[in-house]
Structure 1
Amino acid sequence: MIQALLLIFHVLIVIGVTLRILLRDDFSPQARLTWFVVLVVLPYVGSIIYFLLGETDPWNKATKRHNEVFDEIRAKASHLMGAPEDTERLIDPLYRPAFLYAASINGFYPVAKSRADLMADAEATNTHLVADIDAAQSHVHVLYYIWLDDNTGRAIAHALIRAAQRGVTCRAIADGLGSRAVIKSPLWQHMKDAGVQMAVAMPLDNPIRTILKSRVDLRNHRKITVIDSKITYCGSRNSADPEFRVKAKYAPWVDIMLRFEGSVVAQNELLFISDWMMATGKIIDDITLTSHPVEGGFPAQVMGDGPTERQGATPQLFAVLIASAQETLTLSTPYFVPDETVLEALCSAAHRGVAVTLIFPKVNDSWIVAAASRSYYRKLLSAGCEIREFKDGLLHAKTLTLDGKVTMIGSSNIDLRSFDLNYENNILLQDHGVTHAVRERQQEYIARSDLMTLEEVNAWPRRKRIWHNVIATIGPVL
């Protein structure tokens, strides 16, 4: 009798989950089919897996709150967000579709008069960042996905402490998962005691509540630093040493950072403010929301994406950017598990004669991503893309350059986590000088990489190819 009741209960659950999957308009056919396979192959736990990993915001509370926050920001600071006519005035017609699409995600249009310096390396980034915080007069805002209690993490923490002690308003956000160790450390408490206002994005102090409300693996992956509304940093680096102690065997982590001044700083600050309001429920009303344009600077705009934004926004942006390329497109990312939109856009660009170069790590800290990435090599190489595997550590830089004119840099990877689950931040800009500098850095990555050939990929054993394709097939679940 008990077995019969359990069977009936199980059938009802499977039917319920199946109907839910069929009602999900945001699922691709591949994702829907993958979940059906999970339910069949794992009949007793598949429904639980779906409950844990299949829904991002089951009660739509986070989305509603996110929309309220951005409505409030637009009401107070629409003058900092740019306007559609600015795109027509500032951006080359070839690239306007990409900038306009980026603006459609969260309302940030290109603004004129920004400038940027490419940091030479991790040490130079630390030197400039600490000096900027030490020179702060009004406020400092920082947000990191990973904040470690190492040399870099302590240097930034102590700079914030010094700033707070001399009367500068300091606010710091760390992700509840990526920074879980430092959040529980004396360093975190030391910052609090010194007057730094601290917040945890998507905390994990109550895992049951997190599971019931959303997903444990929804994360704030952003890396934002803003000083006095005049300086911001954007790139791939967390608050952590290149040696990255938690995964030291893959070190060094090779990152890239740009130090911006000018009008785009205000947009990055507004994105931080949205995260602060989401994390704390509090508004920031003790600073004047203004921009500080730099004469002769270039146009740039911020793009922030996340699970509470429009589904598919990031891969569609990448696809539009890729379609804008006329001559060259160079992309680096540590995690490459594209959806069909991005994959076909890359192949299409190569087929029409664009020199497409893709740079990935040779050894990845995620065996899942490493296997899934290589399942796409044959298709990309056959289309004419060039693939390079960086061999001197884990290449963590997320960069995209087009035709020596346009650059996008930030936290977004080319994978399903960045596309669907993580809150990300990027800056899209049009400038020959900055793009040339980033392009030269990409060439340094290429010089330290191995060239992958179609002949080499075709020579892979069948078991290896099967393994790659199996992992790629279950990608929508992962």
Structure 2
Amino acid sequence: MTVILVLHTTLVLVFTIRILLRDDLSPPGRLAWFVVLNLLPYFGSAIYFLFGETDIGNRASRRHKEVFEEIRAKASWFMGDAANIEKLIEPVYQPAFRYAASINGFYPSSGNSSELMGDGEETITRMVSDIDAAKDHVHVLYYIWLDDNTGHTLAEALIRAAKRGVTCRAMADGLGSRAMINSALWQRMKEAGVHLAVALSLKHPIRTMLTSRLDLRNHRKITVIDSRITYCGSRNSADPEFRIKAKYAPWVDIMLRFTGPVVVQNQLLFASDWMQATNESLDGIPLSSGRGQGGFPAQAMGVGPTERHGATPHLFANLFACAQSELTLSTPYFVPDATVLDALCAAAYRGVRVELVFPKVNDSWVVAAASRSYYHRLLDAGCIIYEFKGGLLHAKTLTIDGKISLIGSSNLDLRSFDLNYENNILLQDEATTLAIAERQRSYISRSEVVALQEVLAWHYHERIWHNVIATIGPIL
């Protein structure tokens, strides 16, 4: 019994000291781990060992640094100019664009245009049409790539392109697309000449567990065609019916088709992941920038566990702080940290109309419970909360003052903040923002508003449950 007690005490003490030594961990995160370790010491210690630290491993971190050093050395011209922020962006929004630029070094460039896709069918139809017209290269990267109609159609388009001599590079996340990576269709792409790579491979899971984390994933969705066209948004290479989680279908996504200088910035993000996965150099990636007449300023950005800690919540906080009259946000996963929560409430308190659209039924019961723990505070501040009833709202959108939009793969949860590689495009354009805002209105039209009185009337066991889950939210 004495030996067991000593081992128990040593185990808890070792992990407690490790948590106290971490400067990157927020006080709520530290407290959440203390709660788990004390309530469930053996389970908590195992979970901390496997998932407690956002560490992708020394080798991967070194390679990431080398990749971006090479990109800055060889492709700085395509990354934009810091002076463009003052030239192109309205003064009130410049802090947000300046902060976004500090993440990867991408600055806004003018001459961009965009087109909002209508639905999943239009997205894959237009994408395949663009791939069929490709003359030099096609690059695609998806977190989830299923062998359904959408995934199969995309793969067949790549096979056709590769057979006619177009250089095709395709990447998929090792966990989210594991079935595709092990499928006959993946092998067919390889045999047709499509260059394939796996982002964050799980080929050696034991080594990954010992040196990194299994749940550090590449959540990006990038398609680039001939450095002229890029698609950016929330849609994976999967049907809206999303057969792996069909009970929550349809999954409601958003995707924009861009042309202009922002395309090559997205190309560089793809290149950074390709170089990381294959150890190839940038030299094989074609880079050219097409600039249309007029057009709007936009910049790409990528975040992930090898970027600056807190980059995503700080970006959102900067954007919320810039809002003058209104901001509308949709996200499927809302588990904000204090930075984001305070910024949303502060915007509402100073008179900004803050509208938040979340799915009423979430595929993650943990996220659903944690999200609702914040409703009372948000509603008290004057935010308006809608719960979408037409399936799982998966679109990640932010519009501000009818002028500024952020579109991409980032959710407002701790996975997107700390664990996932994400990609987004930030832009200033009234027409594009109006198109996205109209799509947001369509989400709201299929939603029900959440009233403060309704939240206050929740049964005590619901409130306790929501708050218990939110207490350990920083480690979810």
Interval of TM-score (by shorter of Structure 1 and Structure 2): over 0.9
Of 371-380 and 281-290, the range deviating more from structure 2: 281-290
| RMSD between aligned residues | 1.0
Q: Counterpart of 1:94 in 2: which secondary structure?
A: helix
Match of 2:99 in 1: 101
Deviations 1:69-126 (A, max 9, x none): 1001110100000121111111000100000000111111111111000001111111
Letter in 1 for 2:315: L
Letter in 2 for 1:130: V
Deviations 1:308-345 (A, max 9, x none): 11111100000000000000100000000000000011
Match of 2:411 in 1: 413
1:283 matched to 2:281? The reply is: yes
Asked if the contact 2:70/2:282 (under 8 Å) is kept, the reply is no
> In structure 2, how many angstroms separate the alpha carbons of the residues matched to 1:277 and 1:4?
53
1:68 matched to 2:63? The reply is: no
1:78 matched to 2:105? The reply is: no
> In structure 1, how many angstroms separate the alpha carbons of the residues matched to 2:57 and 2:469?
30
Match of 2:38 in 1: 40
Asked if the contact 1:388/1:446 (under 8 Å) is kept, the reply is yes
Shift of the alpha carbon at 1:280?
A: 1.2
Match of 2:430 in 1: 432
Match of 1:153 in 2: 151
Match of 1:313 in 2: 311
> In structure 2, how many angstroms separate the alpha carbons of the residues matched to 1:12 and 1:62?
31
1:346 matched to 2:344? The reply is: yes
> In structure 2, how many angstroms separate the alpha carbons of the residues matched to 1:59 and 1:445?
40
Asked if the contact 2:233/2:255 (under 8 Å) is kept, the reply is yes
Out of 19, 24, 35, the residue aligned to residue 22 of structure 2 is 24
Match of 2:196 in 1: 198
Match of 1:456 in 2: 454
Match of 1:357 in 2: 355
Shift of the alpha carbon at 1:213?
A: 1.4
Letter in 2 for 1:257: M
> In structure 2, how many angstroms separate the alpha carbons of the residues matched to 1:58 and 1:350?
37
Change (3 A) 1:44 1:154: same
> In structure 1, how many angstroms separate the alpha carbons of the residues matched to 2:441 and 2:275?
40
> In structure 2, how many angstroms separate the alpha carbons of the residues matched to 1:134 and 1:286?
22
> In structure 2, how many angstroms separate the alpha carbons of the residues matched to 1:375 and 1:67?
38
Change (3 A) 1:388 1:427: same
Asked if the contact 2:303/2:311 (under 8 Å) is kept, the reply is yes
Asked if the contact 1:139/1:227 (under 8 Å) is kept, the reply is yes
> In structure 2, how many angstroms separate the alpha carbons of the residues matched to 1:235 and 1:84?
25
> In structure 2, how many angstroms separate the alpha carbons of the residues matched to 1:340 and 1:5?
42
Deviations 1:124-169 (A, max 9, x none): 1111000000000000000000000000000000000000000000
User: TM-score when scaled to structure 2?
Assistant: 0.98
> In structure 1, how many angstroms separate the alpha carbons of the residues matched to 2:472 and 2:450?
25
Out of 459, 466, 472, the residue aligned to residue 464 of structure 2 is 466
Out of 273, 291, 294, the residue aligned to residue 293 of structure 1 is 291
> In structure 2, how many angstroms separate the alpha carbons of the residues matched to 1:59 and 1:17?
19
Letter in 2 for 1:464: E
Deviations 1:201-253 (A, max 9, x none): 11112210110111111100000000000000000000000000000010000
> In structure 1, how many angstroms separate the alpha carbons of the residues matched to 2:174 and 2:214?
10
Q: Counterpart of 1:285 in 2: which secondary structure?
A: helix
Out of 394, 397, 413, the residue aligned to residue 396 of structure 1 is 394
Deviations 1:277-324 (A, max 9, x none): 111111242344221111111000001000111111100000000000
1:183 matched to 2:189? The reply is: no
Match of 2:50 in 1: 52
Letter in 1 for 2:327: L
Asked if the contact 1:115/1:262 (under 8 Å) is kept, the reply is yes
Tell me the percent identity.
70
Of 7-16 and 392-401, the range deviating more from structure 2: 7-16
Match of 2:323 in 1: 325
Match of 1:255 in 2: 253
User: TM-score when scaled to structure 1?
Assistant: 0.98
Of 449-458 and 50-59, the range deviating more from structure 2: 50-59
Change (3 A) 1:445 1:59: closer
Letter in 2 for 1:77: A
**Contiguous gaps of at least 5 residues in structure 2:** none
> In structure 2, how many angstroms separate the alpha carbons of the residues matched to 1:437 and 1:88?
25
Match of 1:477 in 2: 475
> In structure 1, how many angstroms separate the alpha carbons of the residues matched to 2:317 and 2:61?
25
Deviations 1:391-436 (A, max 9, x none): 0000000000000000000000000000010000000000000000
Shift of the alpha carbon at 1:6?
A: 4.4
**Contiguous gaps of at least 5 residues in structure 1:** none
Of 58-67 and 176-185, the range deviating more from structure 2: 58-67
Asked if the contact 2:217/2:421 (under 8 Å) is kept, the reply is yes
Asked if the contact 1:63/1:309 (under 8 Å) is kept, the reply is no
Letter in 2 for 1:350: A
> In structure 2, how many angstroms separate the alpha carbons of the residues matched to 1:256 and 1:73?
29
Change (3 A) 1:287 1:174: closer
> In structure 1, how many angstroms separate the alpha carbons of the residues matched to 2:247 and 2:46?
34
The equivalences for 1:236-251 within 5 A come to 236-251=234-249
> In structure 2, how many angstroms separate the alpha carbons of the residues matched to 1:125 and 1:49?
39
Deviations 1:243-285 (A, max 9, x none): 0000001000000000000000000000000000111111242
> In structure 2, how many angstroms separate the alpha carbons of the residues matched to 1:60 and 1:23?
19
Letter in 2 for 1:362: K
Letter in 1 for 2:434: H
Of 283-292 and 5-14, the range deviating more from structure 2: 5-14
Of 83-92 and 6-15, the range deviating more from structure 2: 6-15
Q: Counterpart of 1:187 in 2: which secondary structure?
A: helix
Letter in 1 for 2:475: V
> In structure 2, how many angstroms separate the alpha carbons of the residues matched to 1:8 and 1:200?
44
> In structure 1, how many angstroms separate the alpha carbons of the residues matched to 2:347 and 2:284?
48
> In structure 2, how many angstroms separate the alpha carbons of the residues matched to 1:74 and 1:284?
11
Q: Counterpart of 1:44 in 2: which secondary structure?
A: helix
Out of 143, 146, 152, the residue aligned to residue 141 of structure 2 is 143
Asked if the contact 2:56/2:305 (under 8 Å) is kept, the reply is no
> In structure 2, how many angstroms separate the alpha carbons of the residues matched to 1:310 and 1:233?
25
> In structure 2, how many angstroms separate the alpha carbons of the residues matched to 1:378 and 1:59?
39
> In structure 1, how many angstroms separate the alpha carbons of the residues matched to 2:446 and 2:352?
23
Shift of the alpha carbon at 1:66?
A: 1.0
Asked if the contact 2:337/2:474 (under 8 Å) is kept, the reply is no
Shift of the alpha carbon at 1:59?
A: 4.5
Shift of the alpha carbon at 1:58?
A: 6.7
Q: How many equivalent residue pairs?
A: 476
Shift of the alpha carbon at 1:177?
A: 0.6
